[in-house]
Amino acid sequence: MVSKALIAASTKPMILSILAGGEIYGYQIIHSMIEISGGILEWSEGTIYPVLHRLEKDGFIRSQWKMSNNGRHRKYYRLTAFGRKELEKEKKQWMSVHNVLSKLWAPLPSFD
Amino acid sequence: MFDLEDAIKSWRKNLNHSESLEDGAKTELECHLRDKIEFLLGQGRSEEEAFAEAVSKIGTPDTLGTEYFKATTRHLSGRPPWQQSRWMPPLLSNYIKIGLRKIRRQKVYSFINIVGLAVGLACCAVIILYVTNELTYDSYHPDAERSFRIGAHTINQVGEHRSATTPAPLALELKASYPQVEQAIRIIPPFENAQNTLVVRGEKRFFETRIFFADPEVFEVLHIPFIYGTPKGALEAPNSVVLSEGMAAKYFGDELALGQTIQIEIDYDIGNANVRIEDYHVTGIVRNAPTNTHFKYDMLLSTSTINRFIPDIDTDWVHWHGKFTYVKLLPQSDPTEFEGQIQRAAAMAAQKFTERFGREVQLNEYFLEPLTRIHMYSQDIRRQLEAPGNWYYLYIYSFTAFLILLIGCMNFINLSAALSTTRTQEVGLRRVVGAQTRQLINQFLGESFLITALAFVAAFGLMWLLLIPFNQMAGTELTLAGLKQPVVLASLIGLLFFVGIISGSYPAFILTAFKPAAVLQGKSVTKSRGALIQKFLVVGQFAISIFLVICTLTVFKQLDFMRGQALGFDTEQKLLLRVKSNLNHLRRDYEEIKKSFMLHPSIYGATVSSTVPGDGDQSGYYLTKTDEDFRKAPWLTVITQDYDFMQEYGIRVVAGRGFDRNLGNDQKESYIINLAAVEALGFATPEEALGQSFQASYHRQFKRIVGIVDNFHYRGMRELVEPMILDIEDSLFSTITLSIRIKDMRELMRHVVAKWEEHFPGVPFEYSFLDENFDREYRYEAQMGRLLGIITSLGFAIACLGLFGLASFVVRYRIKEIGIRKVLGASTANIVTLLSKKFVWLILASIAIASPLALYAMNRWLQDFAYRIKPTGIVFLVAAAGAMAIALGTVGFQGVRAAAANPVNSLRDE
């Protein structure tokens, strides 16, 4: 299990990364996140939408209602240029945290 | 059958509950739900299962709404306004609003409630401060649990007693020979002038009473924090003095006292032979002694000063009057074992005594008193630095304070219960819109807490006022700063909860018991059960008040009795002048001094004596028929006096005659004794004692008994009269008594001061009145009387306020009835009678309950007095009549007001 706080913190870079692959709607985002994580990360699925709203309000993503084949209204999201920059920033931050942690947790050199 | 579309529709409808979800968001969520269900169906679930799982995965409408709100809000907590906080009950703001509105709308009732509670709380808080102060005596010293004062238990010719004093070398011996002693120190009050030590600096000359010699290590045993200087070595050199900050300010003002000098007069020997006024070097300034210590110091002098005047102070095991030994043991040592071992030292002291005086000491044992127990557990120990505390009065005060609080609470309950009938509609409505019983109870408990909290605020103001008279009466120095102590704070918070719950639970219970349907249909709510409890509470309030009144009156009657005629001498209009310096002039020239005071027309009499009634420690004579053997002789308290004493004090002679300067030489040849002494000396009748000749231990002269006086109550009437002897012996004179007629007090005092300065130049002028002086004998009783007086009047006032409120409520409740009665021809008197009748019965019931309880309590209290009054019916009658009159006055006032009102006004809207 991953703590709530960590999930909350990592939702934004995950969404941005998934959207980097192209236009996509809410259900698909959460579906692929669950798939990629292999079920280790758990969301209350609906809570992805408030985050998407927030990101849109901040100007990182843009949304568009489209009618799907089966006659359902779907809201598609895609990354803005601003969002792309934000993703780079996030990437850097997470990588630096990752580097520090992996150095800290690397097995100690042994002299036998 | 499960219908997916219906289920989804109703799910979406549910989303409407959340205020932050917009339509677009809802559509998006619905779309998500459908996709999920489709996916789950693809995995082979049934429609019902798929729906259930999808719904649980997507989250509840509530969390979704909250998340949406969080995503858009700028609030720090992120809590949407429609959601309950975790710690505040819902509708709290509404409750507060309603509560405050009730207080505003019903100003009189709220005032009565708050004032009643505030008075009770203030009394309780003051008593809590007092009790805490008494019970925490000396617990602030570090290592108090292994620090002790050593006392001595002796049996000798004077009798058996336990005293707090021990020989001066004991501390040195303990340090030298007992390995478990970490430190041992002595505290020695100035020898012959401990009660009036003259201190001089420049123009400033005062008598001080809290000066002590102390060993240099005193600061290792007792906690005395330094402001200037250091404890180490402060009391090492001779003529060093450590001042309290109060003393430093008194003598040095804004100057830094450290390093300066001050003059102190010490009388090292009885009879003026060794009075030294010397310079002392200020080596430290320490904090003032706190109120909760038995050792209240103003100045500490180095013990090394003493050696120059009493060279054998460190080796004298025989004279141990007025020397206190304190010891601090090492952490792991066993006090009981140590106490056993120090009997070696006790035996040595006894042996030295026998060697010196040739008299066997029957018993001499040392015992340890833990520092923290000195104040409250040493009532049987004599010669202490401070009079020990008194459990008896501690209980009485706590109990009365509690009673007052109870009256306040009963007021509150009664008024709220009465007022609750006006709130039935509100409760009904709350019920209908879904309030649960628990919520209602919380609301009303909350309201009572609100009022209690307001009362608390008011109580702090009252406390500030109450502490001034209380400190005067109880001789304490309590301040509001004492409230900071954790124990006091905890008790106050406890009190807040106790009062809040006690006062709030009954109204809450009544109000929640209403049936909403009945209330809203306008049916009257039956209140028979409530009415009974209200009556019970009124009776309780008045029973407590009447009980207190009877007790107070009895205490005052006993005090009156003890101050009055029965004393056997005059206490009124006697001005006392104490001669503390230049005593030789008084003892030689007293007749001339008296004459010069009596030059003033308002001073019609003057006398000189060793002591006057009300003085604490008495000296006495051993009387023998033969030359030796004082050991077995009876001991008589003595007042040495001039020829005028008996006349000025109005002491009655029952046989023989008084001293007479015209008959022979009474000064050389005559004694007078009292009736108790006749018995003590073994005579059957006063006549038998007349003419008998005795020798006194003090001056070794044989004198004849020429007169017998009635037993006058020299030490007050709590104790039996002691055998007493009157003697004309000028070497002990120290007090001048002036009998005065007060016309112009200021003019009279100018004369007295002028004459004083003529005879005793440079000695500070101090005076007192005999009745005040004598009242010290009764200080506990007088203190209790005054305190009871205050508490009783407060209690009575609260009870009357409550009754006033209740009566006004009853009048309001029956206003239409009164109107109709008036229209039909009832007179004002009829209506007042109608309204008062019920209350008369209640007051009668309270009298019936209170009287026997008060009788019992007062009989117990009076047991302590050797001479006492009988509780009389008058006291009970006065209390009962007073209670009845005040209660009827209160109710009658309301009744008259209601009866006088024009019935048109009350009946108009019918």
3-class SS of residue B418: helix
* B36 lies within 8 A of chain A by CB: yes
Q: Encode burial over B637-646: b for 16+ CB neighbours within 10 A, e otherwise.
A: bbbbbbbbbb
Which among B32, B57, B71 is the nearest to A53, CB-wise?
Answer: B71
Chain A contacts of B35, Cβ < 8 Å?
A: 27
Residue at A64: amino acid letter: Q
Give the pLDDT band (50/70/90) at residue B271.
very low
Residue partners of B208: CB distance under 8 A and separation at least 6: B196, B197, B198, B199, B247, B298, B299
DSSP B190: -
pLDDT over 70 for what percent of chain B?
94
Which residue from B573, B859, B577 is spatially nearest to B733, judged by alpha carbons?
B577
* DSSP bridge partners of A24: A77
Residue partners of B446: CB distance under 8 A and separation at least 6: B92, B95, B96, B99, B504
Rounded distance between C-alpha atoms, residue B102 and residue B109, angstroms: 10
Residue B342: the pLDDT is 92
Give me the interface pTM, i.e. the ipTM. Answer: 0.81
DSSP B597: H
Residue partners of B562: CB distance under 8 A and separation at least 6: B713, B716, B717, B718, B778, B781, B865, B867
Which among A26, A47, A54 is the nearest to B28, CB-wise?
Answer: A26
Which residue from B708, B597, B603, B592 is spatially nearest to B659, judged by alpha carbons?
B708
* Segment B728-767, tens digit of pLDDT: 988 888 899 999 987 778 888 889 989 998 888 877 788 8
Burial of B879 (0-12, 13-18, 19+ CB in 10 A): buried
Rounded distance between C-alpha atoms, residue A83 and residue A60, angstroms: 4
Judged against a pLDDT cut of 60, whether residue B801 lies above it is answered with: yes
Residue B82: the pLDDT is 61
The arithmetic mean of pLDDT across residues A11-25, rounded, is 89
pLDDT over 90 for what percent of chain B?
24
3-class SS of residue B146: helix
Give yes or no for a contact between B708 and B674, defined as CB atoms under 8 angstroms apart.
Answer: yes
Residue B280: the pLDDT is 95
Give yes or no for a contact between B82 and B19, defined as CB atoms under 8 angstroms apart.
Answer: yes
The CATH architecture assigned to A4-105 reads: Orthogonal Bundle (1.10)
Chain B contacts of A26, Cβ < 8 Å?
A: 28, 31-32
Rounded distance between C-alpha atoms, residue B412 and residue B506, angstroms: 10
Helix intervals (H) in A38-80: 48-58
DSSP B610: S
* B57 lies within 8 A of chain A by CB: yes
* DSSP bridge partners of B623: B696
Chain A contacts of B24, Cβ < 8 Å?
A: 75
Give yes or no for a contact between B549 and B796, defined as CB atoms under 8 angstroms apart.
Answer: yes
Range among B138-147, B481-490, B491-500 with highest mean pLDDT value: B138-147
Give the pLDDT band (50/70/90) at residue B708.
very high
Which residue from B147, B151, B181, B188 is spatially nearest to B166, judged by alpha carbons?
B151
Give the pLDDT band (50/70/90) at residue B616.
low
* Segment B292-313, tens digit of pLDDT: 899 999 999 999 999 888 888 8
Range among B147-151, B361-365, B523-527 with highest mean pLDDT value: B147-151
* B68 lies within 8 A of chain A by CB: yes
Query: How far B68 CA lies from chain A's nearest CA (Å)?
Result: 5
Strands (E), B729-786: 735-740, 767-769
DSSP B720: P
DSSP B872: P
Whether residue B59 and residue A44 make contact (CB cut-off 8 A), yes or no, is yes
Which among B29, B34, B35 is the nearest to A49, CB-wise?
Answer: B29
Residue at B180: amino acid letter: Q
Rg for chain B, CA atoms, rounded = 39
- H-helix or E-strand containing B609? strand B603-609
Cβ count near B148 (within 10 Å): 25
Residue partners of B751: CB distance under 8 A and separation at least 6: B599, B600, B603
* B71 lies within 8 A of chain A by CB: yes
Cβ count near B57 (within 10 Å): 18
Cβ count near B235 (within 10 Å): 26
The arithmetic mean of pLDDT across residues B513-536, rounded, is 68
Instruction: Check residues B808 and B345 and name the one with the higher pLDDT.
Output: B345
Judged against a pLDDT cut of 90, whether residue B244 lies above it is answered with: yes
B732: its two tokens: 């002990």
Sheet holding B767-769, edge to edge: B603-609, B735-740, B574-578, B767-769
* Segment A74-102, tens digit of pLDDT: 889 989 999 999 999 999 999 999 999 99
| Backbone φ, ψ for residue B461 (5° rounding) | -60, -45
Rounded distance between C-alpha atoms, residue B29 and residue B32, angstroms: 5
Look up tokens 């330094």; give the residue: B226
Q: Encode burial over B594-621: b for 16+ CB neighbours within 10 A, e otherwise.
A: beebbebebbebbbbbbbbbbbeeeebb
Burial of B50 (0-12, 13-18, 19+ CB in 10 A): buried
**Ranges of each domain in chain B:** 4-72, 95-137+391-525, 144-382, 527-564+777-910, 567-776
The arithmetic mean of pLDDT across residues B368-390, rounded, is 87
DSSP B794-834: HHHHHHHHHHHHHHHHHHHHTHHHHHHHHHTT--HHHHHHH
Which among A25, A30, A50 is the nearest to B67, CB-wise?
Answer: A50
- H-helix or E-strand containing B538? helix B528-563
Interface with A, mutate which of B5, B14, B23, B35 (most A CBs under 10 A): B35
Rounded distance between C-alpha atoms, residue B400 and residue B791, angstroms: 7
Give the pLDDT band (50/70/90) at residue B847.
very high
Residue B327: the pLDDT is 95
Helices then strands, counting H and E runs in chain A, come out as 4, 3
Helix intervals (H) in B275-342: 335-341
Rounded distance between C-alpha atoms, residue B879 and residue B858, angstroms: 14
CA B841 to chain CA centroid, Å, is 36
CA B563 to chain CA centroid, Å, is 24
